[in-house]
């Protein structure tokens, strides 16, 4: 049952000007300032509360700051329905980047608390999204 639910995991926060971004997404500068201030706290809490699906040895850097400070180790987080890069909470908090209304409604419907996924659920997601490792 879980497999059918996660077969349609959608991405959020992979802005096209990030090294790990998707070319079809908007850029960080374009998205900056689009999130209302009252949503910053709940959205950051939701994003930081996701389950780690994949991690790398690399670090994400602030692509909008010329000094390029390190943000966080780069990883992919998920709630089972959406996935996002670990630097997204930083961009939401610092630049109030806008996110799709569909994602915001989803997070709000869950009380701004992502579900904690079991190891089995994460393994299923990994297989569906990345195939055999």
Q: What is the pLDDT of residue 127?
A: 85
Q: In terms of Cα–Cα distance, which of 64, 77, 83 is closest to 18? A: 64
Model pLDDT for residues 63-105, shown as the tens digit of each residue:
999 999 999 899 999 999 999 999 999 999 999 999 999 999 9
User: What pTM, to 2 d.p., does this model score?
Assistant: 0.90
Predicted confidence at residue 7, as pLDDT, reads 57
- pLDDT greater at residue 72 or residue 38: 38
Long-range own/partner contacts, residues 106-112 (CB < 8 A, 24 or more apart):
106/81, 106/82, 107/42, 107/43, 107/46, 107/79, 108/42, 110/46, 110/79, 112/42, 112/43, 112/45, 112/46
Place of tokens 């374009």: 30
Residue 33, pLDDT score: 97
Question: How many Å apart are CA 72 and CA 70, to the nearest integer?
Answer: 6
Average pLDDT of the chain is 91
Q: What is residue 126's predicted lDDT score, i.e. its pLDDT?
A: 87
């Amino acid at each position: 049952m879980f497999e059918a639910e996660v077969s349609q995991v959608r991405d959020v926060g992979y802005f096209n000007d990030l090294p790990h971004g998707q070319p079809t997404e908007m850029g960080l500068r374009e998205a900056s300032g689009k999130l209302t201030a009252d949503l910053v706290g709940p959205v950051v809490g939701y994003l930081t509360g996701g389950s780690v699906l994949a991690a790398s040895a690399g670090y994400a850097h602030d692509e909008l700051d010329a000094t390029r400070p390190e943000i966080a180790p780069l990883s992919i987080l998920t709630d089972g329905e959406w996935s996002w890069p670990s630097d997204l909470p930083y961009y939401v908090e610092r630049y109030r980047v806008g996110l799709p209304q569909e994602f915001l409604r989803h997070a709000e419907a869950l009380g701004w608390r992502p579900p904690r996924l079991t190891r089995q659920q994460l393994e299923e997601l990994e297989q569906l999204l990345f195939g055999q490792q």
